[in-house]
Chain A
């Protein structure tokens, strides 16, 4: 039986983690994601699992590493400046092939920036972030429901591919309230066995999980294996929503909160007879290059809208391969694109 709740995005995300079977959470206070940490401090205790308010973001992500290497499902959450600190541990998770879920409720930057909503961590999230040649799977929710659904799903994918998974949300999604619906007796998502985990070597050879590979060519082979995994993820895990793109002359490309604004613009413009559609990536890595490329083949123009100076724009350009057909509208440093600005931009195209 599905029940409807009224929830903030942050709390829906936290409950999604609980329902996915999260066994360990560590976090450090930072706005605008504090509701996740507060919610987890209660719910993890209620479920009999572990909550730790860590001494730093560096420590929080290393605790996720520790819980994960011990075989548990583990998560941390933060916002942009804190996520920068977590890059150290995320790189170690990727290198050691350990699952882990990281929530980034983005705020304005660079530096301390502000606590408004933003999408300026796109490059950091999708192009690696920390040192080394790796990717995290990156989900981009655009509603409180997707905050729940994608976090729930993230744990299964992290385990399936033994890789860090990031939920790239923004301040608006974290703070807004909407109905969220889920099965009351929903089971933890996609359980797997973890024979590699640190459990004590009773009746078996000792396990070692490490990213230091000094032998001749060993690290290169390890990286090749990682890349094979990333290729498989790119093949299988792309997710997106498209609205009215079939007959569109113009397709807006936007994710997260910007995707919602673009959706309203699309409806208004359609009423005026403009043939416009919306393509909303739900995974930012893997990015839906093929699908956008397919739209480009129909001869459409594109308008990329972001709360950044144009980061996803680079991926859209790679997919479309024709810069003349791509326009961009972005707001910076916590600014939010308005419907009026977007509609005006569309009318100039």
Chain B
């Protein structure tokens, strides 16, 4: 990890997830072989923090870029870092098909239920009843549809090896999220194919609440919709 001032808002989960990834890479001794693909979204500047090779992708095409990098360098650790807009909206086709091809890559999917970078618009993962910049009357199932559960959609794909949904709302969950990231990387190193770790993460700025209240909201509201745990494990 580089020693750089953060651009993230106070209480944002991205910085914490960045650190977990870097800790895993250091502990596993993978810094020299890691190649990351940053998304379009709040984490677009990930390469300013990570001290390993990192490139960008067009919005949502992150798994397509990672697919090709891994095919060119099959021995390197290749992972994507994607938000819920990048992965669950504009990049739905890319994530499903990368999983279905069983690409031997890792996906770190940070789900905070809004588009943070552009000003807190509704995401596919926004909860019902949640007010955002583009769901001013809150998200209603009859007009805006339901929160999308990519993990559950992907578990039916034979090409997908390991899926786990985690959170960072408490120290215990942070430790668990780190374990899941490590397991995803190990799955790839073992050549066992596609894995994805979803991390429920707070966005105090666009949830309109304090960082502490945001952590509580994850536990009390978000986890009601997005159940934590292993969704699939064939590793």
Contact = CB atoms under 8 A, between A and B. Distances in A.
Nearest to A203: B32
A55 B157 CA distance: 15
Contacts of A56: 93
Nearest to B61: A62
Contacts of A74: 68
B156 interface: no
A65 B65 contact: yes
Contact of A208 (B34, B55, B73, B101): B55
Interface string B99-122: 001000000000000000000000
B58 A92 contact: yes
A206 B49 CA distance: 11
B75 to A, nearest CB: 9
Given A206-B50, A209-B55, A199 B73 contact: yes
Nearest to A58: B61
A202 interface: yes
A217 interface: no
A208 B56 CA distance: 8
A209 B69 CA distance: 13
A92 B38 CA distance: 14
A212 interface: yes
A201 B73 CA distance: 13
* Size bin of chain A's contact surface: 35 or more
B65 A63 contact: yes
B87 interface: no
B44 interface: yes
Contact of A201 (B31, B93, B94, B101): B31
B56 A63 contact: no
Interface string A144-181: 00000000000000000000000000000000000000
A206 B68 contact: no
B54 interface: yes
Given A58-B61, A70-B69, A207 B53 contact: yes
Interface string B167-178: 000000000000
Given A198-B35, A200-B33, A208 B54 contact: yes
Contacts of B33: 200, 202
Contacts of B73: 70, 198-200
B181 interface: no
Contact of B56 (A23, A26, A88, A96): A96
Contacts of A26: 68
A52 B71 contact: yes
Nearest to B31: A201
B76 interface: yes
A89 B61 contact: yes
Interface string B69-82: 10111001000000
Contacts of B44: 212
B57 A62 contact: yes
A210 interface: yes
B12 interface: no
B151 interface: no
B17 interface: no
Contacts of A71: 72
A66 B66 contact: yes
* Size bin of chain B's contact surface: 35 or more
A41 interface: no
Interface in A91-132: 92, 96
Interface in B35-63: 35, 37-38, 44-45, 47, 50-58, 61
Given A24-B68, A198-B35, A200-B33, A206 B54 contact: yes
B194 to A, nearest CB: 14
A335 B65 CA distance: 38
A72 interface: yes
Contacts of B68: 24, 26, 50, 52, 62-67, 70, 72, 74
B180 interface: no
Contacts of B96: 55
Nearest to B100: A55
B64 A62 contact: yes
Nearest to B37: A66
B133 to A, nearest CB: 22
A248 interface: no
A293 interface: no
A212 B59 CA distance: 12
B232 interface: no
Contacts of A207: 53-54
Contacts of A69: 55, 65, 69
29 contacts: A56-B93, A59-B64, A62-B61, A63-B68, A65-B58, A67-B69, A70-B72, A71-B72, A72-B72, A92-B56, A92-B57, A96-B55, A96-B56, A198-B53, A198-B73, A199-B35, A199-B76, A200-B32, A200-B34, A200-B52, A200-B73, A201-B51, A202-B33, A206-B47, A206-B50, A210-B47, A211-B56, A212-B56, A214-B45
Given A23-B72, A67-B71, A201-B53, 20 more contacts: A24-B72, A52-B68, A56-B93, A58-B58, A59-B61, A59-B64, A63-B67, A66-B72, A67-B69, A70-B35, A70-B68, A72-B72, A89-B58, A92-B58, A198-B54, A199-B53, A201-B51, A206-B54, A208-B54, A214-B45
